[in-house]
Amino acid sequence: MINVAAIRMQQFGVQFYQASLTASDIDKLVRFEVLNYGDAGQPPVRGGKQRPGVAVPSKVNWDLLERRIASSEKAYQRQIIRRKIDELVQYYEQCRQARDLPSIPGAVIISCDEKLAFQPAGEDSRVGILKVPEREGILRAIDGQHRLLALHADIDRFAGEDFSVPAIIFDRLPEDHVVQMFVTINAKHTRLNPSHLVSLSGRQLYRDDNLATAHDVVRALNDREDSPLYDEIKLLGVGRGRVAQAPLAQELKKLFEADAFGGPRKSADFLEDAKKFFVNYFKQIALVFGGAWNGRKYSIKSASALRAFLRVAPDVIRRLDQEHADRSDFRAIGRVIAPWGRRIGDLRFETEGAWKRTGTTVDSLAKELRLALQYPEGATV
């Protein structure tokens, strides 16, 4: 038996449990299955084939993951959507690196095939320990299968993490009830991309001048034809670009919250200066790391790299101020960050090289960039 902390709950005569499962519990106990489409022989994962000549990078080992997905005529889940798993894994990685949001805050809904035992912890009979039989695949996901598959695909990166998944667990829920619940939950589903929320939250949902400014800067990086990120950012979560909007906006928001640039956010001059600085800043980054920026086998346009460049922008600003240069001066920015080309270079961003070998994070890359600014000729500390 596996013992998990739980709350015993009841609605309309139906008893269930709100429990806390670890990532390893999920990996061991939950089975993943999709409906067998009969003679059509459709694979359990949708969208698996790439278009000729189009390389779609993925952090997911699909061969390994697909072995975990069974197909059964008694299943009720639809085909697994590759793109959804990829997006969730990327989101989990962003959460793991930023450490400011939980990656799976919402409860997944699970049904157990066998009888569960509940041991009250004290006088309150609702709180206690839920005893789950320790048998592989004893739990079936009713809602949240994509989230759990993404966790399974990314679990190697959770080593040493204190990671809990909230779960609603039903005890031997009848098959017809399981299917009815699944259909009700999924019949009308509105999915809001995090980038969509970034676009809304600065103004429409609530007033946040820092986030509103961050959104406008990101939009300028995407919309201005002279920007090296022109048409490469997924605004509102859509578009052909591969750079996510939300991580960039959140990083910029932190800079503005820390007053790294000074000036009132509502000022039209402040906003225009911020847009001009960041467009010119990334234009110079694209020149300094020209091989990596224009190459296909580099991670310089990944969320981690772009966030690191944004994180050290205040250091670049301070250097410009020390030189009494205009903050948005294209050539002045180039002079300040020129040491990056000598001390760091394109090979640092090669995906299958230094990038993976050093286990690059936002913090580690930002530290390297700062050191190169502090010691442009390579002097040791």
Question: Mind listing the pLDDT tens digit of every residue in the chain (381 residues)?
Answer: 889 899 999 888 888 999 988 888 887 888 765 544 344 444 555 555 444 444 444 444 445 445 545 444 444 444 566 777 788 888 888 787 777 778 888 888 888 888 889 999 877 788 999 999 888 888 888 788 788 888 877 777 776 778 888 999 988 877 667 666 766 665 555 555 555 555 555 555 556 788 888 888 998 999 999 999 998 888 765 556 778 888 898 899 889 888 877 766 666 788 899 999 999 999 999 999 999 999 989 999 998 999 999 999 999 999 999 999 999 999 999 999 999 999 999 999 999 999 999 999 999 999 999 999 998 876 543
Asked if residue 298 is part of any domain, the answer here is: yes
* Judgement on whether residues 118 and 247 belong to the same structural domain of the protein: no
* Judgement on whether residues 159 and 275 belong to the same structural domain of the protein: no
Question: Are 116 and 132 contacting, i.e. CB atoms less than 8 angstroms apart?
Answer: yes
> pLDDT value at position 149?
80
> pLDDT value at position 207?
65
Asked if residue 381 is part of any domain, the answer here is: no
* Judgement on whether residues 183 and 244 belong to the same structural domain of the protein: no
Domain enclosing residue 338, as ranges: 194-374
* Judgement on whether residues 139 and 278 belong to the same structural domain of the protein: no
Question: Are 257 and 210 contacting, i.e. CB atoms less than 8 angstroms apart?
Answer: yes
> pLDDT value at position 65?
46
Cβ-based neighbour number of residue 357 at 10 Å: 9
- Give this prediction's pTM: 0.55
- Of the three residues 187, 219, 246, the one that is the final residue of a domain is 187
Asked if residue 171 is part of any domain, the answer here is: yes
* Judgement on whether residues 199 and 183 belong to the same structural domain of the protein: no
* Judgement on whether residues 307 and 326 belong to the same structural domain of the protein: yes
